[in-house]
Structure 1
Amino acid sequence: MGCLNHTFSSDFTLLGLFSSSPKSLVFYSLIFVIFIMSVTENALMILLIHSDSRLHTPMYFLLRHLSVMDILHVSNIVPKMVTDFLSGSRTISLAGCGFQVFLSLTLLGGECLLLAAMSYDRYVAICHPLRYPILMKECASALMAGGSWLVGALNSTVHTAYTLQFPFCGSRAIDHFFCEVPAMLKLSCVDTTRYERGVYISGVIFLLIPFSLISTSYGQIVLTVLQMKSSEARKRSFSTCSLHMIVVMMYYGPFIFTYMRPKSYHTPGQDKFLAIFYMILTPSLNPIIYSFRNKDVLAAMKNMLKSKFLKIPECVFYFYI
């Protein structure tokens, strides 16, 4: 009877990233600053791509979807985490926890597929430039982006439904800063081994296969770059590829390590530390690495700022007239 009472209790408790102490305020403030940066950078990226016709290409179409995913990523986690710390209330309802699981898995899975699509776009652009208009038509990029969202949502629906149907007997305190599947499985009072095999299969589909495709694409790009005659072009291409791969490894590495290990090997501190990389840090780095270092994006930003700046004197002029 006690187990049943716990099972049907509607609330979980999120223990958070840090303890409730004055020193923790510094860390939460830093995380909130990163959140503001992530939302601002990605929103600016979406605005630039939408407003500048030179950025209406397959690559930037995929980047716009990446920015939308990154905004939703951090917005799903950080506001709740900071609010809980400031208010001292760390409870989250079953519905709220289910929504966090669904949205986080949709975005994590979708972004894994989208990053693979973006690497393919770069592979075709650099290794097969003459065939790029054929291979990366508008319908092809739309299919890649839409497929990433759809497959991510379908996978998330299955895992969310399975995770929430497990009985949670005893403590309902999730030792994490958001509702993540591995942390929730540790609270279940039944054997979840069979379900963990399903998580492992999803990990192969959404993590290992896309990561292998990305590595292969950038490997082919490096081989093509080595054949370039211009040393400046080689240096610039190597710099871009290396930064892209660093961000990819920061995203996939902790994600693989968290979701493709048995439940018994998980430790709360380690899982929370790894989640910071793929849930908080990479959304703020993606616009900088993939977009703001690009001359077309910088030119679009310069034109937008110039147009906004030039409107001010004109408005002032008509005001005085």
Structure 2
Amino acid sequence: MSIQDTHSKIIPAKPLTPLQEFRVYFCQNRGALVGAIFIAIMLLVAIFANILAPHGPAEQFRDALLHQPVWQEGGTWQFILGTDDVGRDILSRLMYGARLSLLVGCLVVVLSLFLGVVFGLMAGYFGGAVDAAIMRIVDIMLALPSLLLALVLVAIFGPSIWNASLALTFVALPHYIRLTRSAVLVESQRDYVIASRVAGASANRQMFINILPNCLAPLIVQASLGFSNAILDMAALGFLGMGAQPPTPEWGTMLSDVLQYAASAWWVVTFPGIVILLTVLAFNLVGDGLRDALDPKLKQ
């Protein structure tokens, strides 16, 4: 066989599309896959909680106060994870609590990401007095402990789930501003941005059309990690009585309501704590997988 015939039979590999390349690198991280599957399950549970939950979140069974889980002596399948101090089914409240916790996490991430991108773009692109004013405010916000700042804001506006969400949005804002600004400062020196500026592109086109799409990779990773932080901080505010108020089924509030029974009825604090732990861990694993898939330095 001639060399020409051999070369004619070699079929060049078809280049991967950006989506296919992302899927390949993301799927190589087994932890990220497990986290994504867990998050998908939690989303389904949250969406169909009214169908999957065996009881209502506020339904009380006065004859089954602090009822044991099904595998404990005296437990029944009516209350698989047991009941709390007023006879409410823990499994049902965890399912409905997933709806509230994921909604709060989504709200906090979307609002803080949107505002952080806008202010970060302005600071990085315009520079000068605009950059100095925005970044000094950010420095002041970062100088205060985030949870303490959220507690102060909730105490001012009143304890509720929505005030707590807005407080967490305000607390998470500096991280997105700094990340966006640093990415914009790098992209602003690229040749394509300079050429577009010479061609007469407006500031809005430069920021939102030319620069922003090339800054999304680190922002997506930060947003995935922001979900876990929002869920954890909301649980902390609920535990301190500054978040969702009883009888709202929220994971942190569930821990606070039954803390005095932790020694005599371990299940009332164990299962909400485990759900918070697994959800936060799942979002962190997904964030790690997104970093592996989107960071070009890790693909070399």
User: Normalising by the residue count of structure 1, what TM-score does the alignment of the two structures yield?
Assistant: 0.28
